[in-house]
Amino acid sequence: MPYRYILFYKPYDVLTQFTDNSGETKRSTLKDFISIPDVYAVGRLDRDSEGLLLLTDDGQMQHRLSDPKFAHPRTYLVQVEGVPDAGAIARLQTGVTIQDYRTRSAKVQLLSAEPELPPREPPIRFRKHIPTAWLEMTLTEGRNRQVRRMTAAVGFPTLRLVRSAIGHLRLEGLKPGEWRELTQTEIKLF
């Protein structure tokens, strides 16, 4: 039986797992959107993050894409509080220390316009006297809450985080909560 490869646009406030054993009030999980058995997320997106998630039952691919030694790029659109200056961008690019770890270098650019994204529900907080800016960040590692910790370390807390790409796979064509199978061409590029 061939492997399954699913590209999913994870909405805000959805757990990156199929069950919720927290005992809290019911929280949305992948099961609310995807009914394919035995596929698992490659990597994670926090509950308060949105965007591209790859699911598969191919253990070898899951390992290649998750293991930091393979350095697969992941791109994020990041709305931050304030407008980062060149010094903050340079620090993000060369790596920052978060907890007891120095991040790898990353591609980071300040976007000149807000990216076209569906509105988030609920919307992010709006403060009249504090501007926001959007960054595009491409990392080759994915530690727990890394993007949020990196932007906070340079003085610009993350307000909204959307993963827009995993390697050559892009978010385009999907809306929050939608998924599709990868094409044979997309699979071969891994």
Pick from 44, 50, 39: which is nearest to 123 by CA?
A: 50
Note if the bond before 84 is cis, omega within 30 degrees.
no
Cα atoms in the Cβ-side hemisphere of radius 13 Å centred on 158: 22
Question: Choosing from 20, 32, 46, 57, which is the catalytic residue?
Answer: 46
Pick from 155, 141, 145, 146: which is nearest to 89 by CA?
A: 155
Q: Which tokens go with 6?
A: 């699913």
Any catalytic annotation for residue 58?
no
Q: Which residues are catalytic?
A: 46
